[in-house]
Structure 1
Amino acid sequence: MAAKIEVDPETGCWLWTGSCNGEGQSGYGQVSHEGKTQLVHRVVFRLLVGEILKGFQMRHADPLGRHYTLCCNPDNLEAVPKQEARRRRDWDSARARTTHCPYGHAYSPENSYLDARGFRQCRTCRAERVRTAGFPRPCEIS
């Protein structure tokens, strides 16, 4: 595994250069370990720090506060309960990386809105759901 890790001199991140499960910075490094494909950062953490408790997730952060999914430096990783990992997630960055809804409509300013929970919704899909559910349009209500 060491042959596929490059150290970023600016951040100290150990950047995985091998196989990934996604594109660019959004993917996680993966490696065959103990007979199955596993995420590199989890394998490195277990080998160098210790087991990851059940119900815990790994969080990535470099010293400059960026989120690098390809980093496997145990100094830049921490195991936290799933609820804490969700609370810390940078929802704005995640939302910015998602450019289209699951049905392929662009999340443009004209075609998206935030619902009461803060989740981005597709106006085209919403209009289709309303149309197919047979709800009357506002102009049809007397």
Structure 2
Amino acid sequence: MKRHVLSLLVVILLLAGCSNMAISDEDGQEIERYIRQEVMSPNFGGEIFTAYEILASNKEKDEIYLWALIMEYYKEGADVEQGSGMSVPMVLKVDRSEGAFKVTGHTLPRDGSFYADDIKDMFPYFAELKALDYPSNHIKKLIAEVETEVAEELK
């Protein structure tokens, strides 16, 4: 019983250390705009499509912790081809001053042996756990969202 109470207390303290910010539909559009325009450039002259899942946010730090799928698609004759892409955790820095919501920058973890340490440094603990073990079924859901958008816009 004591172990359960202690575990619950630890979870409450971890959650209390990071206050979430409310993300409106308009804020979501700004996040999507930023990711499409600033995170990855098209390598085949195509159009960037994105889907993301917010893992957490921190109102005091003006940070949003998310997993993003970013894909380029381009037309090759009558066919739509997939170009470059990435599936990656990231931290977005936002500015909420003057009643506006604007993404002002981002941080991505480095590859290879730096990856796990960067995630631990960039993300609060509970979001770190999600980012380090992001489920493949969540990625499949993001892929389906992007493919639906591509089908609507490019076909």
Give the TM-score taking structure 2 as reference length: 0.25
Point out the structure with max Rg over C-alpha.
1
Q: Which has the higher helix share?
A: 2
Question: Higher relative CO (CA 8 A, sep ≥ 6), structure 1 or 2?
Answer: 2
Q: Which has the higher strand share?
A: 2
